[in-house]
Amino acid sequence: MNNGGSTMVEKILAANSGKSKVNPGELINARVDLALGNDITAPVAIKEFERFGLDEVFDRDKIVLVPDHFTPNKDIASAEQARDVRDFAKKYNIKHYYEIGRMGVEHALLPEQGLIHPGMIIIGADSHTCTYGALGAFSTGVGSTDLAAAIAIGEAWFKVPATIRFEYSGTIPPFVSGKDLILYTIGQIGVEGARYRAMEFTGEAIDKLSMDGRLTMANMAVEAGGKCGYVQPDQTTFQYLDGRVKNDYTSVYSDEDAYYEKVYQFDVSSLEPQIAFPPSPDNVYPVSAAAGTTIDQVVIGSCTNGRIEDLRAAASVIKGKKVHPGVRLLVIPATQLIYRQALEEGVLAAFIDAEAAVSTPTCGPCLGGHMGILARGEKALATTNRNFVGRMGHPESEVYLCGPAVAAASAVAGEIVHPEEVK
């Protein structure tokens, strides 16, 4: 038992479970502030919920349903899944249901809509729900049956995770982003290096990292096995939340004497842009090691890197150039507001002039759903979060992961390159 201080996550879990303190490994029931489902996972949760025979959900204002994975619907089966979510939202008068045209990729949409703030507990039937830790919340993915129970009673059970602290020092080099920091981290510790652990990201490099970059890092905590990833609230957090979040909230911070299972220290001053080679997010090398790898498709988007900062970074590299004739470049803004902003700033024009295809918000190709499936033998470079065998299509295709600037530069070159090579 830890007799010292507590981490941010431990404090949030204690507060929502009615305890003064919790310890790593302890099993608790905690109040949920938000429960999230999408068009793949919510239909299963809905069927389970209906079995309970209840007339009401626990709180119609604290349930979020976002049909984003196979939407716009790719076939009859996906259309019926989306219909089931739509019907449930209508039946129970769910406040936060986002239809096509208002929908965005869920983990970009919820922060944008002001639904997330420090101190919350958010569960979602999607593994990348850990994204919201970037805003000082405890958020994690759960199964559809756990989501069903939360929709019914507003609670979930947790084993309190131990926390690993990651300290990033130095000045972040040009073309290096939050995506590179988290890829490098996963490469150092492996896909099980933080299994069922909270990952606390801190240090001078994180202090200077934008909110979009922090969201990217927290998003990929699960690729290291993390239960959650988080950054403690600071001025960057408050500036992002200002004008978005309407209700009062209290920020939570780790104590100076909090217990950490491990502490990693990384100096990022000389870090190159990173590439995760197939077939795993921890198979990470600097971009120089991937130079010359030919590619067939490039995807810029997803809940990891479809935000406005990502699109700007890619557009700054590709503006005035053309996509290589042997490459298909797909650009997918993560939300409608991001799409509109990119349109108004001329960011989308840069992509279209370069002969890229620009899509409405969707998870689409990230999970091999639609809008960019790979054929046998094809290679993709993507700003998405996973590159397992068959992730984006045929099991004999390959996916490499990178940040937006590298993706744009490589689309122009027809092979993986450092952005400096096409500037």
User: Rounded to whole angstroms, how far apart are CA atoms 92 and 33?
Assistant: 18
CA atoms within 13 A on the CB side of 16: 27
Q: Residue 40: how many CB atoms within 10 A of its CB?
A: 21
Structure tokens belonging to residue 185: 């981290």
> Which one, of 397, 221, 233, 224, lies nearest residue 299 by Cα?
397
Bridging pattern class, strands 284-286 and 274-276: antiparallel
How far from 155 is each of 35, 44, 50, 60, CA to CA, in Å? 9, 18, 17, 14
From residue 381, give the alpha-carbon distance in Å to each of 116, 290, 411: 31, 11, 9
What pLDDT shows up at residue 423? Answer: 75
All structural domains of the chain: 8-265 (3.30.499.10), 275-421 (3.30.499.10)
Task: Take residue 246 and report the two structure tokens written for it.
Answer: 């309407």
**Rounded to whole angstroms, how far apart are CA atoms 9 and 120?**
10
Please give the Cα distance from 106 to 98 (Å, whole number): 9
Quick one: how far is CA 95 from the chain centroid?
23
Instruction: Write down the pLDDT at residue 1.
Output: 62
CA-based nearest residue to 132, from 40, 52, 32, 44:
32
**Which pLDDT belongs to residue 3?**
72
Q: Digits of tens for pLDDT over the chain (423 positions)?
A: 667 899 999 999 999 999 999 999 999 999 999 999 999 999 999 999 999 999 999 999 999 999 999 999 999 999 999 999 999 999 999 999 999 999 999 999 999 999 999 999 999 999 999 999 999 999 999 999 999 999 999 999 999 999 999 999 999 999 999 999 999 999 999 999 999 999 999 999 999 999 999 999 999 999 999 999 999 999 999 999 999 999 999 999 999 999 999 999 999 999 999 999 999 999 999 999 999 999 999 999 999 999 999 999 999 999 999 999 999 999 999 999 999 999 999 999 999 999 999 999 999 999 999 999 999 999 999 999 999 999 999 999 999 999 999 999 999 999 999 999 997
